[in-house]
Structure formats: C-alpha cells, structure tokens
C-alpha cells in the first residue's frame, strides 16, 4: 500500500547550503534537467553544450513554464568574451491591429492564435551548438528525448503548477483548446500528482526531428509544414513563410556598473534594461544611514521609476527611438529620476504588470566558460494551442503587444514584442563572476535587482541571496511581499504609503538560479531557489 502525503507540506524547517564545484556546474528549476546538463559536461561537452541539453530537457520535465514552441535568450561567456543571443520571434505577416479590431478585440487576447508569434527556442539550441558547442545536437537532446519517451516522475512544485494552470484553463480556454491541451498534458484525465509518471512520445519524436535536422525541420521542413497546416485549418495567422524567414540574432549585451562590478543584460526587445536603470537610480542614493525600512522603500521606488519608462520605450529594436538605450542608462537620466524619490511611496505612470511562466538555467565548465539562459511559453502552457501529433505547445508571447497604433509596442506584422524573459550576468575587471537569473514575467527585473543588491550590498552567498524573502511591485503603490517577509518591515513600508499585501503563491516572486566563479581559484559556487524543485549539481 502506497503512503499518501502532502508533498508540498513542510512542517519542519529545512535549509539549503551553497554548492561548490571545480570542473563544472548546472543550476536550474528541475533536478532531472540539471543532471542531464552535468552528464553532458562529463562526456566532454562545454558549458554551452550543457545549457542546450538542460534547456531541451526542461521542455519535457517542466512543461508548465516552457516548451518547444516558446522563445529563448542567452548570455554566453566564452574564452573571455560575453556574447548575447536573441531568439525571440516576430508576429506573423498575416496579422494586424485592424484585423483584430474587426473581430471585436480591444486588447490582445491571451489564448488562441492571436497571441502566437514565431517560436525561437529550437533556433536558439541550433545557433548555440553551431557557434560554441562541441558535441552534436543529437547527443545534446538525447536526455530530453529519453525522458519524453520513457516518462519521468513529476515533482511537487511542478504538480502544483500543473494543477493550478489546469484550473485556470478550465475557466479561460475555449473548449476546443482545452480538449487539445488535455490530450497531451492530461492523458489520464487529471493533472499529474507528485510521483505520477508523465510521458509524451510525440514530444520525443519532435525533439528527435529537431536534433536530426539542426532545427531546420521546425522552420523549413516537415515540422513547419505541420504547424502551417494546423494554423490554416483552425483560423491561425502563422505560416511556413513566417517560420522560414526567421533567424535568431547575435546581439551586443548592455551593462551598468555597480560598486565596481559590471551587471550585464540583453538590449531591448527584452526588459533587462529595467534592471540596469533601477541600479543606476539606486546607486546614486546615500543609503549609509538608512534603516531597513528606508533602504527597502528606496529600492522599491527605484524599480518603479525604471519600469515607468521601460514599459513605454522597450520594443522591437527597429522601433526604438534613436539613442534611447544610452539615454536611459545615462547618469543624467538616473539623477533626474533619483530626485523624485522621497520619503513616501509615489504613483508612477505605468499599467499593472501581469504574471507568466518561464524557466531559467545557468551552466559553467572547468575552462571558465559560462551560460545564462532563459526560455518561456510566457503564460504557463502558453496559447493553449498544441500542434497535433507533435507535442508542440505554442506560446502566447504576442499578448504583450498593444492594439494602440500610437504605442511603440503596437502590434505589427513581422515585429517582435516587448519581451519579459531576461538572462543576467556579472563580471568584474574583465573577469567573469557568473550568470544569474530570476524567472517570472515582470518580476524578473525586480528579481535581478534584488539578486545584485544581495550580492554586492549585503555580501550574501548565492544560496542566501535566493533564500531571502522578496518583494514585488505590481502597480501604483501596490507591493506584494512573501509570507516570510519581516512583519515589522512590512508595517514600516505601509507607514510610508506602500499598499502592502502578502502573496501566498511562491511563483509570484520568481524562481532564481546563480553560479559564481572565483576568478582567483576557478572554484564555482551555486544556489538554487527554494520556491521551486530546483537543483545545483557540480563536478
């Protein structure tokens, strides 16, 4: 007789400690995926190979947050240089604001074909492998294919997300979408419980096809044909021509200096610049005499002010104002915003920030190479559309578009939208310190900001940074705090005008991973977020 218990109940305190290694390390939100990446390192692969294997595995072992049909971004430290990859796809050429408004939409829908943009994740795997990898893509995707084919035991947090998302989908998905989705993700008629086995042979076949063709099949071959046919038959906009013209873009990372360290993010259309703006605003404040409440208050205000212009300006790079990145990262801009921070909470001119689903991973090898990588279906399982016979759940990234033609982020054919997923990286004096990230829609810049301050202001180790209770600004004066957030600090923030509420869903506060490298010894140290089923594995 099986013992029944609540896998998410923790009546006794537990703790994690920082993990150390020398020859390699992988940190991510699912231990099976982390082990897959470490196995690749032990086979002679480098940090990039390990990142690809881990990312592909996550589409199988954490389908509640990412999939083959999502987007991806990466920061790659290779042989002393940092490289950026933007693998976010554009809107189909056949969609437009006029078409959506003619159908009665006042804003971008969440589900169905309207928010589906070209998926970029498979292209990211192929591009990373081609430029920096050592091992063939077929070998890197083998662990993911095996887990999809043979199945795996579902972990506790994954089961919780699966169940929560199903309950939401029942309310919000049209029945035809729900039936498609349920066939793939609930073959037994209910969301899997912790310890249940889930498998998807169709997912395995698709991954094998991607591996065998270096992702060409997804964009120009048999898989592209399937996506095109499904779209045409069900009223979609995505076409094989949209897939065929897409290619990921290698970009130059952007940075801000904080206390002698360089904090790196990718440029727009990602929102990483919001983190850098907040750091620039905050570091000009004299916090030496601040008590805990004033220190936290000024952090929240800096993030608000960074989002204020970030949400207005971030868009497809081709639509950015000339010189806007330099302007937003200038000391003049930071000083102007900084002077608006007083002793009470202000109300910035920004809309509410929604939630989403994402996975983050980071890797390092014994040669000093490191990867900060993130991929997402945006809102949990994405659009609700599953391409028949493939296991491909299509994302809903286009929900971030505006239907206001005057907005910089307005929907246009062939245009990339404001993107929430951002990988982070830290360096000092030209030496890599390491990758970090906090997944979770618009929480991500806030999570990055809190990670950097935890490391550089408070001197915390990677695990302590991720264990620390977080706050999350949502809109106006509204701030969510975790149940473990100090009550007296929350009350002091409330006295400063912040509208404090406790968020009981750990997913609202992001799920992070960190790997730091000691430039002197080469020793790696890593932490993983207690808000997920994560693992740091080292060699």
Catalytic residue among 54, 157, 213, 358: 358
User: Which residues, including other chains, have CB under 8 Å from residue 419's CB and lie 6 or more apart?
Assistant: 71, 73, 88, 269, 270, 271, 397, 400
d(CA 273, CA 510): 18
Q: Which two tokens stand for residue 197?
A: 């086995």
Place of tokens 């040669």: 367
Helices (H), 25-67: 31-42, 47-61
**CB-based contacts of 105, cutoff 8 Å, min separation 6:** 114, 403
Angle, in degrees to the nearest 10, between helices 201-212 and 222-233: 130
For residues 401 and 108, the answer to whether their CB atoms sit within 8 Å is yes
Token pair, residue 537, equals 């594995």
C-alpha dihedral (272, 273, 276, 280), degrees to nearest 10: -160
Active site residue 213: no
Q: Please tell me the total number of residues recorded for the chain in this structure.
A: 539
Whole-number Cα distances in Å, 304 to 340, 437, 443: 11, 20, 12
Angle formed at CA 95 by CA 250 and CA 221, multiple of 5 degrees = 55
Contact 247, 228 (CB under 8 A): no
φ, ψ of residue 435 to 5 degrees: the values are -85, 150
Residue of 65, 197, 169 whose CA lies nearest to 534: 65
With CA atoms as reference, report the closest residue to 63 among 206, 175, 174.
206
Catalytic machinery residues: 358
């Amino acid at each position: 007789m099986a013992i029944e218990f609540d896998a998410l109940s923790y009546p006794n305190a537990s703790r994690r400690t920082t993990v150390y290694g020398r020859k390699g390390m992988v940190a991510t939100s699912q231990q099976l995926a982390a082990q897959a990446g470490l196995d690749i390192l032990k086979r002679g692969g480098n940090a990039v190979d390990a990142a690809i294997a881990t990312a592909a595995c996550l589409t199988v072992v954490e389908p509640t947050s990412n999939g083959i049909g999502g987007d991806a971004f990466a920061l790659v430290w290779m042989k002393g240089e940092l490289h950026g990859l933007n693998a976010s796809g554009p809107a189909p050429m056949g969609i437009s604001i006029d078409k959506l408004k003619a159908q009665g939409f006042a804003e971008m829908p969440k589900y169905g074909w309207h928010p589906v943009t070209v998926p970029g994740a498979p292209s990211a795997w192929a591009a990373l492998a081609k430029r920096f990898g050592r091992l063939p893509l077929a070998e890197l995707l083998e662990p993911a294919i095996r887990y999809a084919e043979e199945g795996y035991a579902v972990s506790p947090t994954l089961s919780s997300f699966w169940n929560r998302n199903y309950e939401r989908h029942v309310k919000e998905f049209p029945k035809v979408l729900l039936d498609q989705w349920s066939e793939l993700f609930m073959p037994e008629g209910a969301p899997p419980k912790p310890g249940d086995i889930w498998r998807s042979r169709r997912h395995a076949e698709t991954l094998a096809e991607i591996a065998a063709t270096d992702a060409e099949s997804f964009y120009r071959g048999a898989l592209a044909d399937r996506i095109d046919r499904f779209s045409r038959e069900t009223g979609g906009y995505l076409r094989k021509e949209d897939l065929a013209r897409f290619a990921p873009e290698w970009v130059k990372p952007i940075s801000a200096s904080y206390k002698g360290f360089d904090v790196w993010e990718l440029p727009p259309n990602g929102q990483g610049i919001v983190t850098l703006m907040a750091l620039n605003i905050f570091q000009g404040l004299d916090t030496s005499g601040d008590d805990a409440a004033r220190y936290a208050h000024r952090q929240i205000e800096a993030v608000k002010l960074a989002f204020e212009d970030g949400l207005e300006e971030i868009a497809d790079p081709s639509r950015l104002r000339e010189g806007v990145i330099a302007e937003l990262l200038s000391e003049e801009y930071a000083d102007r915003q900084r002077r608006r921070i007083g002793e009470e909470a202000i109300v910035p001119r920004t809309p509410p920030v929604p939630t989403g689903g994402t996975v983050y991973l980071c890797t390092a090898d014994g040669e000093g190479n490191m990867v900060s990588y993130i991929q997402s279906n945006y809102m949990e399982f994405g659009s609700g559309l599953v391409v028949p016979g493939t296991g491909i759940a299509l994302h809903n990234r286009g929900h971030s578009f505006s239907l206001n033609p005057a907005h910089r982020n307005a929907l246009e054919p062939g245009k990339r939208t404001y993107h929430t997923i951002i990988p982070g990286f830290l360096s000092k004096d030209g030496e890599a310190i390491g990758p970090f990230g906090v997944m979770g829609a618009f929480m991500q810049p806030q999570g990055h900001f809190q990670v950097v301050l935890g490391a550089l202001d408070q001197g915390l180790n990677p695990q302590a940074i991720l264990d620390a209770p977080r706050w999350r600004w949502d809109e106006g004066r509204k701030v969510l705090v975790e149940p473990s957030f100090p009550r007296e600090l929350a009350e002091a923030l409330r006295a400063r005008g912040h509208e404090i509420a406790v968020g009981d869903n750990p997913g609202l506060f992001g799920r992070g991973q960190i790997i730091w490298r000691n430039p002197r010894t080469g020793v790696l140290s890593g932490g993983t977020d207690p808000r997920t089923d994560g693992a740091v594995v080292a060699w």
